[in-house]
Chains A and B, each alone.
Chain A
Amino acid sequence: MSELFYNAAPNATRIAAPIPTQREYPDQKPQHVYLFGTCVVDLFYPEAGMDSIRLLEREGITVHFPQGQSCCGQPAYTSGYTDEAREVARAQLALFRQDWPLVVVSGSCAGMIRHHYSELFKNEPATLLQIEALAARTYELAEFLLNVCKVGLKDRGAPTKVALHTSCSARREMNTHLHGRALLAQLEAVQRVDHDHESECCGFGGTFSVRMPDISGAMVADKTRALQESGAAQVVTADCGCLMNINGALEKQNATLRGQHLASFIWQRTGDRT
């Protein structure tokens, strides 16, 4: 509980959470996992969710998709509507009762569950215990495939160049850029190319993109320019907020380049067996 309670009293002077240690992964892959699809995937990129399910099933894992799930609560949380975020989060908590890993199809949503639910429920000690356990078994999809399933991908696609974009918060909280790169590196005919200011935000930031459309627009304009200049034939990302932002901007610019979810990209190249 130390991490969750390190600065509980409202007027206590806070010290920074300890430097995170390298996450430890189970030796064996589990028989069952929960899949958290996220609201953006549900409505706009369901194929990314389906391809995630297919990738996990190919690993011999039974995937459970509780139909009661909706959203991690992040949009309200980052907009300052904490009570609303908490209740939506609470509705999700009730769904993942078995001690199975929770695999999340989008990086920043995984980060919300792993790193921010504790702040949401800071005044509910009993819920905090539940959250600590949930956080410990929550994985972003690429991380889970790489470090828990320890996949070995057999590339069957044609040679291509891709650029990888990683959600900034997910990268900073969970090193998701390393997981994405490692998976792409397994694909023999795929060359990952860097793009200018790769670690810089694409400008999405949830409601930021509609509250500050000019600034957000300038950021995504720079990001899409960098991606186009990278020489990549397509963009790959494991975060659907960024994907919606980047693809929306590319489409508006009438560009031919598009982004795709990492799960779909891998599934399409590796067919139906490892």
Chain B
Amino acid sequence: MNARNNILDKLRKSVAGSTPINDNYDISLVTKPWSYAPEERINRLRTLMEAVHTEIHITTQKNWPPLVEQLLHDKQIPSLLIAPNTPHGRQLEAYWNGKAELPSLKAYDRPIEQWKADLFNETPASLTGTLGAITATGSLVLWPDQHEPRLMSLVPPLHIALLHASKIEDNFYTFHEKYKWREGMPTNALLISGPSKTADIEQVLAYGAHGPKDLVVLIIKDA
């Protein structure tokens, strides 16, 4: 603990007698330039996310499972990782039930240690929900949890994310306020704004660096 005390002592000595600076946070600066009419939100989100190679589809609560089926078929994906204990996981399973020759559904239902190799090598795609999205920056918000673990949106090369249109907020400030993030954060919270990318070689943009190569967002317009 010596280092701790030494550091803190030095710092305290250096600010001795000086007054802390007041918090004059101007909320309008981080909200006003980033406010949108409700009908604008989807368009802006779409424009921003498509600009970084995200595939976006607008669908409905009833029609998204067949859309997933279609997408997997078009992309020739043999299996899909789902979170079986989520409402959307159950809905997809129900839709899949009894249909022949569909890609197999794989459930993330046990600790990673028990199937790490499978996740890394044999899991081409995943489907997750989202907490919502942020219009200003074109970002999905994910709060992974025990039912839908964090590696789902990271390791499989294709990530399909469901987003309810009603959960799209204007900006990061309003989002974090609405969900009272300051009162407690989950183990891991994420903003995801496209498939993984890099420009580390000569500033040439290349997609599919370490995370998903493809991100597909299904925006569910609520009735």
A interface residues, Cβ below 8 angstroms from B: 9, 11-13, 15
Whether, in the assembled complex, B111 has its beta carbon less than 8 Å from a beta carbon of chain A, the answer is no
Contact B17 A15 (CB under 8 A): no
CA distance A13 to B21 in the complex (A): 8
Q: Is the CB of A11 within 8 A of B21?
A: no
Q: With a CB–CB cut-off of 8 A, which chain A residues contact B19?
A: 12
Distance in angstroms from A139 CB to nearest chain B CB is 33
Task: Describe A's contact surface by its main secondary structure.
Answer: loop
Q: Give the docked Cα–Cα distance between A12 and B16 (Å).
A: 9
CA distance A12 to B15 in the complex (A): 7
- Does B14 reach chain A (CB closer than 8 Å)? yes
Q: Is B18 an interface residue (CB 8 A)?
A: yes
- Chain B window 2-30, contacts with chain A (Cβ cutoff 8 Å), 1 for yes, 0 for no: 00000000000011111111000000000
Closest A residue, CB atoms, query B24: A15
Name A14's closest neighbour in chain B (CB-CB): B21
B22 to chain A, nearest CB (A): 10
User: Which residue of the partner chain A has the closest CB to B19?
Assistant: A12
A13: which B residues are within 8 A, CB to CB? 15, 18, 20-21
CA distance A61 to B17 in the complex (A): 52
Shortest beta-carbon distance from A112 to chain B in Å: 29
- Can you sample 14 A-B contacts with CB below 8 Å? A9-B17, A9-B18, A11-B14, A11-B15, A11-B16, A11-B17, A11-B18, A12-B18, A12-B19, A13-B15, A13-B18, A13-B20, A13-B21, A15-B21
Query: Which residues from A are CB-within-8-Å of B15?
Result: 11, 13
Which residue of B has the minimal Cβ distance to A15?
B21
Kindly list chain A residues whose C-beta atoms are within 8 Å of the C-beta of B17: 9, 11
Residue of A nearest to B15 (CB): A11
| A-chain residues with CB within 8 Å of residue B21 when the two chains form the complex | 13, 15
Q: How far is the CA of A11 from the CA of B15 in the complex (A)?
A: 6
Q: How far is the CA of A15 from the CA of B19 in the complex (A)?
A: 12
A86 to chain B, nearest CB (A): 25
Please report the C-alpha to C-alpha distance between residue A15 and residue B14 in the assembled complex, in whole angstroms. 16
